[in-house]
Structures are given as C-alpha cells and as structure tokens.
Structure 1
C-alpha cells in the first residue's frame, strides 16, 4: 500500500497583511501528537527538524491548550483528530495565487449544533458570570455540521472566493481536510521579532457604498467593540510579556478596521522583542490559544467555555501555519475554518464571537450568521458597466450620474477607476453617432466600450415573478455583468417581455431591466432602494427633481395604480401592460414601464 502524501498550501488573497503564498514539496515525514503528553515533544521535534533545514507546515488544535499551561481547561478532544499535526518538507515554494475564477456551490446543508433558545440561554449564563466578576468577556462558539461527499477543494475554492482572506489554508492529512479562510494573524516570528494582530469586533458589509461606509464608521466608533478589542489587546500584551524583553511590548495600531468581502473586522497590532532563550514551544506556552478566541481572563474564561460548549472545537480557534529554518514562523488563528472527516464524511465549521456585558443575544447571533456567510455567499467574476444613451446633437444623457454610480461601485468592490480613460474610450466608440453605449470596467481596471442601436419598445408586457429576490444580495445594488438573479426569474415568465420583481417580504423592487414607477392617486411612486434594487440613473434624476417619490409597494398596489412605468436612462418612460395571474382576476391595465437603469 502506497504512503499517503500530505498536501499543505498556505495562501494569501487579502489586502496586504500577508502577501505571500506557499506550497510545500518533497515530503519527508509527519509529526503528530494525540495526547497532551506528546504535544510539547512534537513542537520540539518540529524545531529540531527546521534546524536541520526542513520546513514544517500544519496545525495545533484548540484542545492542545492544557499541554502548554495545565491551568487551562478544554473539552475532550475531537476523536481521531491529532492535537498537533505537522508535515515536514524539503522545499517551501512561493507561489502566485489568485482567487479561483469559478467555484462550484456545494450541496452541503449546514445545520447548527445548538438551538436558538439554547444559544440565548448561553448568553444569559455568560452575562451572569460577568455580573459576578468571573469574567469580562467570553468567546462563545458553536458548530455548523453537514454530511459532506466528495473532495473538499470545491468548498475551499468557494470559501476563499467569498472571503479573500490573508491566511487561507488547504491541508490534506490523509484522514482529514482542513479548509481555512482566516483573516486573523496569530503570530509572526522572524528572528527575535514577534508580531500578533488580534481580531475582535465585526460588522456585516453594507449593500451599497453609503450604507457600507456607515457600517464601517459604526464599528470604528463602537464603545462595545473597542472595549472588547482592548480587553484582548491587554491580555495579549501580558502573554507576550512572558517571552519578551522587558519594555519591548508595544501596541502599534489600535482599533484598525479591515475590510473583507462579507464583513468588517476590528484589529490591533502588538509587537515585541523575544528573549534570546525563547523557542517555538515557549511561544505557544505563552500565547496559545489566542486571547481573541477565549476571552479574559483566560484561565477562568476557558473553564466557562468548557462548561457551555458541549462539542470540541478541534482545529477551529487553534492555529494553522508553518515553521522554517532561521527562526521563521507564521500562524493564523484558525477561524472561518472547516474540518472534513474523510472517514465519516462529516464536515464541521465553527462560528462565534466575544460576549461582553453590553452584548445582546440577537446581536451576537447575527454576528455568527455574518461569519458563516463565507460558506454560502457567492462572489462571481464580473464587470461593472453602464448603459448610456448618446445623441449626435445633445451628447451623453446623464453622463455625470452614470460616472458617479460607476465610481461608487468601483470603490465598493475595490476596482481601479480612471474617469479619463472611460471618457476617451466612450468618445472613440460613439464617434459622434446616436447610439447606445455600454461602458464597462473589469477587476483589473481595463475599460471596454461597445455601441449598439437604440430600439423602441412597444406593446411591452410584464408580470410579477413569484420567486422573490433576497434584499441582502449585494449584486442587486450594483450594475454588473452578473445577472443570474434576473435571468432566472425572467425564464420563469416566458410569455411576457419582462418581470416585476419582489423581495422576500413581498415588496416590489424593479423589473429585470429597469426601475419601477406606479402612479397612484396622481402621485408617481417608486420602491426604495432598501427593498433590494439598482438605483437607476434616470430614477435618481427624477428623485432629485422631485418628480417621483419613494414608497414601499406591494403587488396589490399594481391593481390600485392607474399607470405603471419601467424607467431608465436609455428609453426614459416605456408603457407596458401588466399581466396578472388568473387568480388575480380583472382586466389588464395599461402601464408605463421604463427599461435598463
């Protein structure tokens, strides 16, 4: 029987905290520890191997903690999973990695290992411990599980496309696959310099730029999140002091806000100079597990965690990383991390957050859901584009509105934006003609300008699509080439020219190619952007001119409307006939709908 060769890739898709990706080659052997007595011996063996020129890459599970400090309490270890696992390789090769251009959504159905009521009970219990002075903050977590068939690579690809984190990792041990999209540095050790960057404080990203900026500002000024972050900073300063030269521990960047695909995170950076006699095992003795995934004070708080969390954490909230010759090591805190048991075909993914006196059960639960979005949020490859009408005599219609929307979306998604290049490309494409211009930019900032004829829509029909859109879907709020949500719903209504969309609350939003306006009682009404729609440029111009008003609308309002419009900047106002379902009996009403936004 051939020997199983482990695979380890440590990859960075983030924003600069770690800009190197590594693959490891020429496998030699594996160092493992399954009991607490073997843990320190394993790390000493890793150190000896790296002194001999080998590179070690692997993980330390959360339940290894008592091996570094017997005062720390953890649940029973996860059956079959090593407490320490490192593969030794001859080569560490720097690789160029980009997020996969495509990723296949898995059929995995993730189920929380805790009920909502149980979670609420745990939060109340934690706050009672805070009240009695046992703890200041508890990092409470629970597990999502699913039956998982097939290789873990598709799930890993999905996670890293969704998160684009600094410390991603794929590990195949032979018995397990570890898939991590962690944004959090545990520690970086180079020579005598040690850096740690705890992450504490989370907000979901907004759906459009203004909402996104407000959520970022809200996190940055949040007294609760600042206090929570500062508690962990103080804990880690104390931990670092155990292995550092006196006076060398300093906080470099307090309360920094880092953007990720689905969330904002608050981080702080702490640096120190190690004593000459400190090795890898002593660093783990001083720091592990990271205070950001335990709480403070660490010893009593880990006792509370063991009381409340019935299942082991395993690799989740442990550490993943590498050790190389020359006193070099980088480890992440293993959050946003899944572990697949290849024998039982079971996957586990942990989520959690820091609970303080100011925490609410609902707020903490929503934070957990935000972190779990890495499993489900789709981040397709797409271009941003604008469709602009150009008249040979009058020029571009609403050019400034189009460029502003394109600029705001580019800033939201982090795409390069150059207005001069866009204008040059547009002018060259239209060549002074009356036409429809499609102006797009891709993820690298490349500009493409294409033109087509202007067409007239007559006898236009539309009906309400029964399949709702999700008002939290980011792509509803930006004009992108990712149009599956529109195409899928249009396909469900093949007998009409267009569909009128509604969200999960039954609120009308837009059509597949333009904004929606209803005339009711002599007033022109359009759904608010919060319902889940693209803010069209013509719609915006009409709002600024106070010709239309925003109001939440339902399907029943279509029966009350004397006219219905679909509006956009290419065709402005286009009358349509709204086709009602048979049960919604009554004569069809003439409506005015304007396309394209």
Structure 2
C-alpha cells in the first residue's frame, strides 16, 4: 500500500501554518523510467493539479539529462520520476509510529580518498574547468524496525524545513530537508511568482551560547562561505532568467543564516516572475538539478561529479515535492532539495552527505563539515531517552530544580515534548514511595515526552576514589550526546575503567582534560581548584555548577602537560557530591 506524509514549511511566510497532510492509495501513479518520459510525466502532473488533484512525488538526480543532454550523470537505479495523484489530501496524523527504528551504518568514505577528491577538484578549479563542485558520498546501512518510526526520529533530529515520507512500494524516501528548491505559484496562463532559496555555506553549532553566536557571525563574515553562496546565487539568477519575464529576477535576501540543530546554514532568496505559457516541465528544465547541489558552471561541475562519484545519487540531490491546485485553474508547486534524506529499499538504507568545494576549500575543514552534517542521521539512528540522575535523601530530591532545568534544555534541543506538570507528578509519586533512606533516582523522558522514574539504593562511596587517565583522546568531547545527558552512552562505554578504578579521566583531541565518564572533575593546580570549562567538551554537571556558584572552584583549562603538576584531584557530580580522588597514570 502506497502511503505519504508531507510536512512543509510555508516558504513565503515563517508565521504561516505548515502544509501538513497524509495520503494513501492514489488513484493514479505517473512514472518515468526513461529520459524521454520525464517531461511528459511532469506535464501530466501539472494537468492533474490544474484539474483539482493533489500530486506528491520525486525526481532522481539522474533525471537531469532529460532537460539538458550535456548534464552528465550515472545511470539511474530506479524510476527517474515517480508521482502519485490524489483527489484530496487526508488530515495530518500527529500520532507517532509505534515501535522503534535502529540503523547500523557502515563506515563512511575513507579519509585518504576524501582528501584525494578535494585535491582533484581544486586542481580542476585552478585549471579553469569550473569554480565550484558539490562533492558527495553515500552512507549505507541496514534498518531494524519500522520506516515510519525512522521518519519520525529524523523529523525530531531535523525539525522544520520540508519533510516528506514517500512509500512507493519498492522503495521509500524519508526526507527532512531544510532546503527549498522552488515554490512556484502560477495562474491559468503559466505566469506567476517563483521563489528559490539555495543553501550554501555551513558552520557547526557552538557548544555554548557565546560559541554558537560567534559561529554564526563567522559564517556570515567568511569570505570563502560568502563567495560559495554568491556563486550559486548567480547560477540560480541565470537559470531563472530562462523562464522569467524580462527584468523580473531579483535577490531580495542575501546571506541569511539559518539555525539548524547541528549546523548553521547560509541561504539566499532568488525570485522571478514566470512568463505566460510556462509549464512545470519548463521550471524543471531551467533549474534542475538545483545549483546548490551541483556547483558552477553546472555542466562542467556535473562532469566533475560524474568522474569523482562512482554511483548514482538517486533521489538525493534530486527533488521531492507537492503539486496542488492554485485556484482559478492555477497551480502551486513546492519542491525541496532532498539533502538530509534517507532512501530505503527493503532494509537497505542510504544517505548522502556532501559540500561545495571551491578554490579556498581545505580538506580538513570540509571533513569536519561532513561530520557536522551527518549528525542528524546519527541522532535518529538509535532510540534514546533523556536522562537525569538525582539523589533522593529522606524524601527530598537534591538539586531538583537544576536537574529539571537541564532536562528541559535537552528536550528543546532534541525536539521532544515537555510537560512540566507531568514530570513533576512522576517525581512526586516516586518520592512518596521512597520517603526514607538514600536513593539513586533515574528520571527518563522518551521520544513522546513520557517521563518515568526509577529508584535504586545508593551506597556510600569510599574515598579517595581512583581515576585513570584515558589512553587516547575522547573524540566525542564536543558531540551533542556529551553536552546533553541521555541513555546513549556507547561513546563513554568505550572508555570504561579497568578493574579497581572508579572512573576514567578523559581528554579531547586538543589535549585538554574534559571530565570522567559519569562525572565532572576538579584539580588543585597552583593553589587553585579548577574545573574544565564547557568549551573543552563536557556535560554541564549540576554538581559542578553548584561548586562554581559557591566559589569553591573556578573554570580553567587543564592540559595533559599540566597533569603532573596537579596537587590534588576530585570527582564531582550531583549524585555523590565531592569525592577526593587520586590519579593512576597509564
């Protein structure tokens, strides 16, 4: 059974209601399996919408030669265009899919191959063959669980934007793209307004509010990122001029920074007024594929892509969207650029990751950008709960307000429902059942916002505890599952302490001490107790924050070379408080 869910932002009004609907069992499907069939399918899509139907579907990247034979691609691995026609949409169902979904991803592109590709692109740019190439590679994996559950997890990981779930029988597309390809609203004669919003320019989100603001400011000011954006804006201006009324192409907004959960993205708006007689196939003929996922000039950039990438992109970097009636015989068509998109065949899943490479691109920077972009799918690939661990002493929860404030922030970060009254009720019931003694309480919040609390007897800890210095850097120090406390702890489990050791002392790739696997740390150095700042990459512990407020410790960077000079150590968390510690060196 075919099924579809569309959750698109209104690209022309941030405050407007989203276009949200479901659909099942179309009355017709329109499929293009050859290049010659692509334009006729798009004509049929438009005719159906002008006659009152709603149409949902997609084009693969490999459909490009249907519009320009000089656009080079690999052979497609499925239908070039696929659309479903409905008499009317069904109401959006807010209920989340039952069950969970887990994806086991294979290793991504190896770093030496990545570096070689970047060097090859820069050589081509230096030779004058092109001036930007959007280079990509696929992640591959296997799904365990339900596809709709994975789509729900992807929407939580990448909220907003232009999300679409297309179950087409033999394959499914799960897109949570933040990028608009085009929004075209035309009258019966084809004349109308068209908006494109290319997304080019990326910066990772900061670990703190100050770092985050600085990252956005650096993106806006970066000559390299601005140049990359302008190149694509110019390409889109030229593409739109092919279907635009004279002198109607404009750029009303340039270098807008958009906050996504894991990255800042730079977008610009390019608009035009389409000429009378313009058809949907003409819009695709002028614009497809979007220049933001090809590079510029488009023909030469796509030749480079064909040489560098060994397999078809599929729906990734193609188009996914909705064509619907526009009133009085008109039409409204909204399509995303399917980045942040998972393609599913049976249990096999793929997800493309890429970036625009220019003369100023450095392989190390692009590698970090790819890592930041793939976080959305990693977040969605394994179910997890938000977690707070509190001490319950004589029926009173220690630092209750601070723990709830931290969980509130985590819920906002991960897009989870937060009902404060429901959480308080859950804790009240647990406290009433454990009114005497000392307990370790685990407060959990699941993906649907349902809280649950568990209590375990808390035994006293003998002091001093023994810490052991990690034998390698903690690569996930700046990850979101380090900054926020959850049940996803595989990155910490890899640093489990050896027998006889209380916990492992971690340090980041810059050689800065961060925390231990389940607590913060403090060190007496040069007569002052210091604790690593959040910028080093660590959980903002509730116990740590209390010590800072009291003035018992102050923030200070502690490097590996300083460890030998530390006079005393302490392990700190809200549950156990301050524990004197000694450090066992490897």
For residues 225-252 of structure 1, the C-alpha deviation after alignment (integer angstroms, 9 at most, x for no partner) is: 1111111112112222222222322222
Q: Distance in 1 between matches of 2:9 and 2:497?
A: 40
Secondary structure (helix, strand or coil) at the match of 1:107 reads strand
SS at match of 1:328: strand
Q: Distance in 2 between matches of 1:325 and 1:370?
A: 38
Q: Deviations over 1:56-98 (max 9, x none)?
A: 211111111121123x32223223x011111122221241548
**Which residue of structure 2 lines up, in the alignment, with residue 376 of structure 1?**
378
Alpha-carbon RMSD across the aligned residues, in angstroms, is 5.0
**Residues 534, 163 of structure 1: alpha-carbon distance in 2 compared, 3 angstrom cutoff:** same
Alignment partner, residue 593 of structure 1: none
User: Aligned equivalents of 2:582 and 2:115: distance in 1?
Assistant: 50
Cα distance change of structure 1 residues 335 and 268 upon mapping to structure 2, 3 Å threshold: same
Check the 8 A contact 1:208/1:412 in 2, yes or no. no
Residue 479 of structure 2 corresponds to: 473
- Secondary structure in 1 matching 2:213: helix
**Structure 1 residues 382 and 253: CA distance shift in structure 2, 3 A:** farther
Aligned to 1:48: 47
Answer with 9-18 or 284-293: which moved more. Answer: 9-18
Q: Alpha carbons of 1:388 and 1:206: their partners in 2 closer, same or farther (altered >3 Å)?
A: farther
Change (3 A) 1:182 1:211: same
Q: Which residue of the partner structure matches residue 247 of structure 1?
A: 247
Is the CA contact (8 Å cut-off) linking 2:384 and 2:487 kept in structure 1?
no
Equivalent residue runs for 1:152-551 within 5 Å: 152-191=147-186, 192-326=192-326, 327-342=331-346, 346-377=348-379, 459-460=462-463, 461=465, 463-464=467-468, 470-478=476-484, 482=486, 484-485=488-489, 499-503=503-507, 509-510=514-515, 514-519=519-524, 522-536=527-541, 539=544, 545=551, 548=554, 550-551=556-557
Moved more, 297-306 or 35-44: 297-306
Whether the 8 Å contact between 1:353 and 1:364 is mirrored in structure 2 is yes
Alpha-carbon distance change, 39 to 408 in structure 1, aligned in 2, over 3 angstroms:
closer
Secondary structure at 1:320 match in 2: strand
Residue-by-residue CA offset, 1:111-164 (whole Å, 9 max, x unaligned): 43xx43333232222222222332221112222233556653344333322222
Alpha-carbon distance change, 324 to 547 in structure 1, aligned in 2, over 3 angstroms: closer
- Residues 324-366 of structure 1: CA distance to partner in whole angstroms, max 9, x if unpaired? 1230111111112222334xx5433212111111111222222
- Counterpart Cα distance in 2 of 1:273 and 1:122: 39
What is the TM-score when the length of structure 2 is the normalising length? Answer: 0.78
How high is the TM-score relative to the length of structure 1? 0.77
Q: Is the 8 A contact 2:164 2:174 kept in 1?
A: yes
Task: Return the match for 2:103 from 102, 106, 119.
Answer: 106
How many Å separate the matches in 1 of 2:86 and 2:469?
56
Cα displacement string for residues 179-200 of structure 1 (whole angstroms, at most 9, x for unaligned residues) = 2121111111223221111111
Please say if residues 9 and 23 of structure 1, whose CA atoms lie closer than 8 Å, have aligned partners that are also in contact.
yes
CA deviation map 1:231-286 (0-9, x unaligned): 11121122222222223222222111111122111111222222221121111111
Q: C-alpha displacement at 1:410, in angstroms?
A: 8.5
The aligned counterpart of 2:84 is 87
Q: Which runs of 5+ in 2 are unaligned?
A: 187-191, 419-437
Q: Deviations over 1:416-468 (max 9, x none)?
A: 99xxxxxxxxxxxxxxxxx99x9x99999x9x9x9x9xx99663546559799
Residue by residue, what CA displacement relative to the aligned partner does 1:164-216 show, whole Å, maximum 9, x if unpaired?
A: 24112222222212221211111112232211111111122222322222222
| 1:28 equivalent in structure 2 | 27
Cα 1:457/1:75, change in 2 over 3 Å? same
Equivalent residues of 2:386, 2:411 under 8 A apart: no
Contact 1:26–1:91 under 8 Å retained in 2: no
Structure 1 CA distance, aligned partners of 2:513 and 2:290?
47
How far apart are residue 25 of structure 1 and its match?
3.2
In the TM superposition, residue 288 of structure 1 has moved relative to its aligned partner by 0.9
More divergent stretch after superposition (492-501 vs 186-195)? 492-501
Question: Counterpart in 2 of 1:77?
Answer: 75
The whole-number CA distance in structure 2 between the counterparts of 1:265 and 1:99 is: 28
Which residues of structure 1 form unaligned runs of 5+?
Answer: 391-396, 418-434, 585-597
Please list the CA deviations of residues 515-567 of structure 1 after superposition, one character each: whole Å capped at 9, or x if unmatched.
Answer: 32233575434334344323446646766858546243669959x86543234
SS in 1 for 2:89: strand
Q: Confirm or deny: 8 A CA contact 1:137 1:355 kept in the other structure.
A: yes
CA distance 1:6–1:404, change in 2 (3 Å)? closer
